[in-house]
Structure 1
Amino acid sequence: MGYTYILECADGSFYVGSTRHLLQRVEEHNHGEGSNYTRPRLPVVLVYYEEYERIADAFAREKQLQGWGRAKRVALITGANEYLPALSRKVWRRG
C-alpha cells in the first residue's frame, strides 16, 4: 500500500510526498523529521491524499504532482477536477 499526499505548510505553500504510512509520515513532518522543505515551515496540515496498491505508483504520482503549478494543485485539493485540463502548463518548443 502506498499514498501520495499534499501538505499545506504554515507559510501557505504546498509539499507533495509519498509514503507507505500516511499518518505516521505527517506526524514525522510535524516533529521536524520530515523533509528539509517542511522543517522551517511547521506546522503542516494534510490537505489531500490518494491511496495506491503499490508504493511505486504513489511515487510516480508524487513526481507528476510536483510538476504541477499551485493553481492546479488547489483545483485537485478542492475537487474542482473540471479545471485541471485548463490549468495544465503549456510546453513551448522552438522550431
Structure 2
Amino acid sequence: MAFYCYMLRCSDGIFFTGHTDNLEHCIAQHQTGELPGYTQTRRPVELACSQDFPSRHEALTAERQIKGWSRTKKQALIASDWTSLIEAAIPHAERALRLRSGRTED
C-alpha cells in the first residue's frame, strides 16, 4: 500500500500540506469541504504536488518537515527546482555571512 504526502494550493494562495493513503479521495474531500479544518474555508483547492512513500510514517515525516518550510522553499519543491530548494535551505544569517566573506559556495 502506498502513502502520500501532498501539498494543496488554497484559493487564498496558502499551501496546505497533509498525508493520506488515498490521494484522489482525500483531495475530493478537501474540495467539497467534507474535511473540517484549514482548507474548509479556503476552497477551491488544487493539488500542487505529491510524493508517494512506502509507509505512513515516512509520509507523515515528510509532511511535518514540509510544514516547517518557508513559502520560497515550498515553491521550489513544487517547481522541482532543486537548486533553489537547496539555496532556500541555507539560513539567512549564514547566507549573509557567505556574501560578506565573498564565499558563495560551501
TM score, norm. by length of structure 2: 0.81
Q: How does 1:11-90 map to 2 (within 5 A)?
A: 11-88=12-89, 90=91
Q: How many residues align?
A: 92
Counterparts of 1:61 and 1:5, CA distance in 2: 9
Q: Larger Cα Rg: Structure 1 or Structure 2?
A: 2
> CA 1:90–1:35 in structure 2 vs 1: closer, same or farther (change >3 Å)?
farther
Q: CA RMSD in A?
A: 1.5
| Aligned-residue offset at 1:35 | 4.4
Paired residues of 1:3 and 1:58 also in contact (CA < 8 A): yes
**Could you say which structure has the higher strand fraction?**
1
Runs (5+) with no aligned partner, structure 1: none
Higher relative contact order (CA 8 A, sep 6+): 1
Counterparts of 1:47 and 1:63, CA distance in 2: 17
Q: Percent identity?
A: 33
Counterparts of 1:29 and 1:9, CA distance in 2: 10
Counterparts of 1:66 and 1:12, CA distance in 2: 15
| Aligned-residue offset at 1:33 | 1.8
**Could you say which structure has the higher helix fraction?**
2
Counterparts of 1:10 and 1:39, CA distance in 2: 11
Runs of 4+ in 1 over 2 A off after TM superposition: 89-92
The one-letter code matched in structure 2 to 1:6 is M
> CA 1:56–1:26 in structure 2 vs 1: closer, same or farther (change >3 Å)?
same
| Aligned-residue offset at 1:89 | 5.9
